[in-house]
Amino acid sequence: MAPARLRLVALLLVVACDPGPIVFVEPGSGAGVTRAVFTVTATVDLADAGLADSLGWADGVPDADVHVLRNGTAEWITAHSDSSGKVVFEGLLPGLYRVYAGRTLTAAEAAAVGGVVRAFGDGRTLRVGTATQLELELFADRPGSLVISEFGNGIPVPWETNGSYRGGLYLEVYNNSDTTIYLDRKVFGSTHTFGSETAHTPCARSVAMRLNPNGVPALYALAFPGSGSDYPIEPGSVRVLAAAAIDHTPVHWSLLDLSDADFEIGGTSAANNPAVPDMLDVGLEPFSLACLLAQGRVHYLAEPVVLSDLPVQYRDVNGRIYVEVPQEKLLDVVAIENLWPSMDGLYPPCGVMIHRRFERYEGGFFEIGLAGEVDQYADQTMSVERRVLRETTSGRFVLMNTNTSAVDFFVGTRTPGWLPP
C-alpha cells in the first residue's frame, strides 16, 4: 500500500457577487466584487506517513481545524474538514492570507496507534488570487526535552505606571521529557524576526537569514548559572525566569507576585532579590527585557554555546551582528508574530520568520497588554502558553510540540510555575 497522505482541501475560485447566503459584500464595495473559493491540500509530512497509514487517513484527515486570516483583518475564519479531508471556504476576497491547520487524535484513534495521543500541525502565508492551491504537510508532535511553556506577556498600559513597565515579565521553561535535565549553562535567546516588509528591513534583505536551514540567528542571550549539575529540572517540572523576582502588585493591580521565581534576569530598575539566582547575560548585545515579549520574535533554547565563537549569519542596518546557533545545539524554537490589523496592510508578513526545519509556522496572536483593536486580546492579564497534549499514566503532562507555534500555543491567563489542564 502506498504511504497515506493527510489531505485537507480548501478551494478558491473567483465568483461574481450573487444573493446567495455564502457571498459577502463589504460596506461600500458595491456589486461585482471579486470573490473566491479557496482550495488547500494538506498532506502528512513524509516522516509521518506510517502513522497516517495506521490511522487509515489515505483519503485525508477528518475533523481537522483549518484557520485562515486575510492580512489586515481581525477575524480568523475556521472550518472543519469532512471525511475526505476537504474544507471549502467560499466568498473570500483575494489577498494575502495566513493559513494553518491542526489536528489532535481522539482517544479511540490514539488506541489504534499504541495508546498515545498525537497532534499534527502546519501552516503557510501566501497570496491568494483567482485560482490558488496550497499544500500543507502536517507534522506530528515530537515532545522534545526542554521547551518554552509560557511567555508572561501581561504589561500595564504606559499611562497607568508613568512609563512602559516591563519588570513584571517572565518566561517559563518545562521539562517535556521523561528524564532529569540539568539547566546549567543552557541558553535562552531571542532575536528580531524581520518578519514584515518595511522600508527599514525589507524582506529581501533578511531572506537569507530567514531561510537558513543550518541554524537560527542569535543576538540577545541568557545562560542559566551553574557548573554542570547544580540546577536539575525533573520530568514534568516548570522553572520560572522573572525579569525581577519581587512582588510587582504594588506597581499595578494587573501584575503578579514573582518573589518565588526560580531565576532572575535583571535589566530593570526594580529591586533585586538576592535569594534568587541570577541568569547570566551572554549575548552579543546587553539583554533587553523586550526579548521576553512573545510577539514579533524568534525565541530558542539551546545547549551551552559561546555566541562570540559562532559564525556570523547577518548584519542589520545598525551594524549589529547576528550569529548562527547551529541546529545540533537547539532544543526548542518558537516564533510568534504580532497581528495588528490596522498596520498589517502597510507592513505585510515576509512569508516565513524562520526556516521550516525549526518552525513549521509561527503563532500569529493579536497584541497583548496594549489597548488594541481586538478587545478580547487587549488584556493586561494574559500570556501565551503551550497547550497540554496528554497526561501520562504517572500523572505527568506532555506538552504539544508540532513545531507549529500557531497550533502549539494559545492566549490564556498567566500561570507562572504551573500548567493549566
**Residue 370: Cβ within 10 Å count:** 17
What is the pTM (predicted TM-score) of this model? 0.88
Q: What is the pLDDT of residues 323-380, one digit of tens each?
A: 999 999 999 999 998 888 888 888 899 888 999 999 999 998 887 765 445 544 457 7
Residue 30: its pLDDT value, please? 40
Extended strands (E) in 286-328: 297-302, 312-315, 321-326
3-state secondary structure of 151: strand
Residue 184: its pLDDT value, please? 98
Burial per residue of 33-44, b for 16 or more beta-carbon CB atoms within 10 angstroms, e otherwise: eebbbbbbbbbb
- Per the structure block, which three cell numbers stand in for 274? 538576592
Residue 135: its pLDDT value, please? 84
**Residue 110: Cβ within 10 Å count:** 16
Cell numbers 476576497 label which residue?
Answer: 93
Burial class of residue 398, CB neighbours in 10 A (0-12, 13-18, 19+): buried
| Residues 6 or more apart whose Cβ sits within 8 Å of residue 415 | 150, 383, 385
Domain ranges in the chain are 12-140, 146-413
Residue 65: its pLDDT value, please? 93
Low-confidence ranges of the chain (pLDDT < 50): 1-30, 371-372, 375-377
Residue 16: its pLDDT value, please? 30
DSSP state of 100: E
Residue 234: its pLDDT value, please? 98
CA of residue 221 relative to chain centroid, distance: 19
Residue 2: its pLDDT value, please? 41
Q: What is the pLDDT of residues 205-243, one digit of tens each?
A: 888 888 999 999 999 999 999 999 999 999 999 999 999
Residue 320: its pLDDT value, please? 87
Give the architecture (CATH level 2) of 12-140: Sandwich (2.60)
Residue 330: its pLDDT value, please? 97
